[in-house]
Amino acid sequence: MADTSGGPPLLGRTALISGSSSGIGAGVALAFAQAGAAFVIINYPVEAEANSAEAVADQVRSLGAQALAVQADVSDEGEVERLVAAALGAAGRVDILVNNAGIGHANSVEELPVATWDRVIGVHLRGTFLLTHAVLPGMYAAGFGRIINTASQLAYKGAPGLSAYTAAKGGIISFTRSLALEIGSRDVRANCVAPGATRTPILDAVPPDVLEAIRAGIPIGHLADVDDIVPTYVFLASEAGRHFQGQVLSPNGGDHFL
């Protein structure tokens, strides 16, 4: 068991972060290392992102933590089992799971291919379930765990052209709340971070006019940078967040009030 009695807030912890070769996931990986995590497992979906994942892993190592980059499609049960086995083999345990893997796709409902709907739901929602399902036994055995799921403020307000994405994020919130009720008597916490629009590669799928409309509707007047989002993950992973269970924290610049 890690000693978190003093020093950095994640001192000695091990973390597995899905979808962490870029964007918010990469930012969370670096923030966890800065917060004292001992081991960070970087997940990426396809070999084309291997170099990006290894670059994040190298940055994590430069901050004093161990790191391992593992390719796995989180919507695939077998690949998730392989990912978790690799994490346990390297680090011995998973104290913190961040379900962050996600993809974006913009289409009206009538033009949205069924295969695209299935893919978006699969990566976001099925992936969150599969990874949680795989790490929970170890967290139960250790008597400790922190599960942080990436949702979105759009799960609450909706967005034209993003029906699959918003449905997946709404499902993640509902899943997290049910999970939190199941594990309430254990020292395992499950919560969500629901970021507002953030400058990451996932916004590449959003048309410029839609992005400008989103920006114009944010009271503080601009989209978030990754550094605006990641402190919420560190908080929920740390002892400071120990009394949060089944909650949704939304750093969104006032775009939507939860």
- 41 pLDDT more than 60: yes
Distance between CA 123 and CA 103 in Å, rounded?
Answer: 7
In Å, what is the CA distance from 230 to each residue of 88, 94, 226?
A: 24, 19, 6
Q: What is the pLDDT of residue 56?
A: 98
Tell me which of 44, 140, 156, 165 is the catalytic residue. Answer: 165
Dihedral angle at the C-alpha atoms of 227, 42, 201, 46, nearest 10 degrees?
A: 180
CATH code of 167's domain? 3.40.50.720
Distance between CA 173 and CA 6 in Å, rounded?
Answer: 32
Domain presence at residue 5: no
In Å, what is the CA distance from 216 to each residue of 95, 111, 195, 229, 236?
A: 39, 27, 17, 19, 30
What pLDDT digit, counting tens, does each position of 62-80 carry?
Answer: 999 999 999 999 999 999 9
Domain presence at residue 134: yes
Q: Which stretch of 91-100, 172-181, 205-214, 231-240 has the lowest confidence by average pLDDT?
A: 205-214
- 4 pLDDT more than 70: no
Domain presence at residue 214: yes
Annotation marks residue 156 as catalytic = no
Domain presence at residue 257: no
Q: How many domains, the chain?
A: 1
- 199 pLDDT more than 90: no
Q: What is the pLDDT of residue 3?
A: 47
Domain presence at residue 145: yes
Instruction: For residue 200, give its domain range.
Output: 14-249
Q: What is the pLDDT of residue 1?
A: 45
